[in-house]
A and B are shown apart, each in its own frame.
Chain A
Amino acid sequence: MDIPRLVELNAAYARTIDNEQFEKWPELFTDPCLYKVTTAENVAKGYEAGIIYADSRAMLQDRVSALRKANIYERQRYRHIVGLPVVLGQEGGAAAAETPFLIVRIMGDGAMALFATGCYRDKVVADGAGALRFAERIVVCDGARFDTLVAIPL
């Protein structure tokens, strides 16, 4: 799998979230899939839990529905800065890739703060139409701290 196509997929992912087009976010995943938000420390210790854990596109959609309709939080958005992916291996048409990220959270009043840094650990496959999709995206945050709340996916 070539790097430019992975870069394009990551750019689309970041743009979807940063432009608040959350409804399109699940489309970037296969179904079933695995999306999890955890920390480097949990991964190192073999702890499986995530603060977000979804194994189907429908679960991703539900998270979007909840953040649109149910959850209450102060107005905020993210700015993702996504680094270059490294392909760690290929197996059965799936590429294992790792991409560093940095997320700034911008509050409604304009206050900006570094919200999370870390690394996406992905399994990427091409769907029937040849478009790349995440079969797996594990968001491994460098730190274990999640300030106030995490309404918007990382």
Chain B
Amino acid sequence: MDIRHDASVHEPATTPHGQTPRGQTPHGPWPEDSLARVPYWVYQDLDNYTREQRRIFEGATWNFVCLETDIPEKGDYRTNQIGGMPVIVVRAADGAINCFENRCAHRGALIAFDDGGNVQNNFKCIYHAWSYDLAGNLRGIAFERGINGAGGMSKDFKRETHSPRKLRTTSLCGLVFATLSDDTPPIEEYLGTEITGRVRRVLNRPIRIMGRFTQPLPNNWKLYVENVKDTYHASLLHLFFATFRITRLTQAGGVLVSPDGGHHASYTIGSEDAPGAAAFREKDLRSERDDYKLADPSMLDPVDEFGDRIQLQMLTIFPSVVLQQVHNCLAVRQVVPKGTDGMELRWTYFGFADDTAEMNKRRLKQQNLVGPAGLVSMEDGCVGGFVQRGIAEAGDKISVVEMGGDTAESQPTRATESAVRGFWQAYRRHMGY
């Protein structure tokens, strides 16, 4: 699938094959013109960061803005960011979901400053009480005709030409996305068949939110997205399973990469003979190192709730959202850039509306495994910062992303960086590199 660029963004001349010529970066040619090479300036350069906002977040991409369950009723809204741009996403009277820039057309103040709530029929900017309907249209101007015939707005002021930018929205399995571009293809086409199927696999019925946490990370947003797509590091950086001699009965699994490279789903599969309720086993029951066993393994008592023996599925949707299934611990993680060397990771843990009390407890316990205090993966919180600090004076040097080759196709192994290369394939196309 070819994702078109936002027509409003200046394009470099294209080749006869319709490809954006490579090597047109502000820092000269992309190293070796290879998906397996990444220059470090992309994590540091402020002009590049600004370009990302225009070409990626405001470009032909679907950006996660909320869950449908966040805004079930008319007038329910959430605020969020698309890259750096603040947005409001709101349920309209007809059940549709609208999204518009959270910026008053008058003086630019935030129209809504809470995380969310309900506004009934209109939003009112607190600064000068300009009001907007649920579609983001400017409807009311305080003292528009002045007071006692004096003051007020000019008679030719046209409200309809003064509104915050409006975005198109779409939903997939309760995930709500927004885009500023007319060129962004329908979400299923955007993701491709396989990744769409992997989203549907997890979000197969109504969900309920279990909690929200924000994790500021001291690194460029792309380092985190790459980390999630990097199936190679899991058993090397994260030592919890190895230390406690807990092993998955099989390590079967692989990584799916969407045709355009931008989206991925990695997975591991339990073996057929594994009893459903005990996908983990202690590797060596007669281990002399009893102190290296878990004293209470109850957080490792997953059930095969999707009926396909897939124990872990990590899925990314370009540019900035992660759908996580680690056994029965389910979460959406949104990546929000905060300058070249910082970001926020916004976690929403969820279960299903029909969870039993037992399943709820199981999810609560398994939530120990991931997140800011995740026993299995807390290292992901610091490793991006280690890269950001490591490359401090190496903007002109390059990173090697060559495990499993130099292409970005799906592979039946996790010892690969194929999905990371896929990210760079999509990134470079959007950025015109």
In the complex the two chains form, what is the Cα distance from A149 to B347 in whole Å? 13
> Whole-angstrom distance from the CB of B196 to the nearest CB of chain A?
27
Which of A52, A59, A63, A69 contacts B298, CB < 8 Å? Answer: A59
Which 4 pairs from chain A and chain B are nearest by CB?
Answer: A49-B211, A58-B296, A149-B381, A58-B295
Bound complex: CA A50 to CA B344 (Å) = 18
* A positions within 8 Å CB-CB of B: 37-39, 41-42, 45, 47-56, 58-59, 61-63, 65-66, 69-74, 144-151
**Main secondary structure on B side of the interface with A:** mixed
Tell me if B237 counts as interface (CB < 8 A to partner A): yes
A148 cross-chain contacts in B, Cβ below 8 A? 215-218, 372, 381-382, 385
A75 to B368 CA separation, bound complex (whole angstroms): 21
Q: Which of B243, B367, B382 is the one whose CB lies under 8 Å from A149?
A: B382
- Closest beta carbon of chain B to A137's beta carbon, Å: 15
**Contact call B378/A73, Cβ cutoff below 8 A:** yes
Inter-subunit contact A145/B364 (CB<8 Å) = no
Q: In the assembled complex, how far is the CB of residue A111 from the closest CB belonging to chain B, in whole angstroms?
A: 12
Q: Which of B298, B365, B372 contacts A51 (CB 8 A)?
A: B372
Query: Do A66 and B240 touch across chains, with their CB atoms under 8 A apart?
Result: yes
Chain A residues near B295 (CB-CB < 8 A): 58-59, 61-62, 65
Contacts of B373 in A (CB 8 A): 37, 51-52, 146, 149-151
Which residues on B are within 8 Å of A, measured CB to CB? Answer: 209-218, 237, 239-240, 242-244, 291-292, 294-296, 298-299, 344, 349, 360, 363-365, 367-368, 371-375, 378-379, 381-382, 385
Of the listed residues A56, A69, A148, the one surrounded by the most CB atoms of chain B closer than 10 A to its CB is A148
Contact: B216 with A49, CB < 8 Å?
Answer: no
Q: Is the CB of B368 within 8 A of A52?
A: yes
How far, in whole Å, are A42 and B214 apart by their CA atoms in the complex?
Answer: 12
A selection of 26 A-B contacts at a CB cut-off of 8 Å is A42-B211, A45-B209, A48-B360, A49-B210, A49-B367, A50-B367, A51-B371, A51-B372, A61-B295, A63-B368, A66-B244, A69-B292, A70-B239, A71-B240, A71-B379, A72-B379, A73-B382, A144-B212, A144-B213, A145-B215, A147-B215, A147-B216, A148-B217, A150-B373, A150-B378, A151-B373
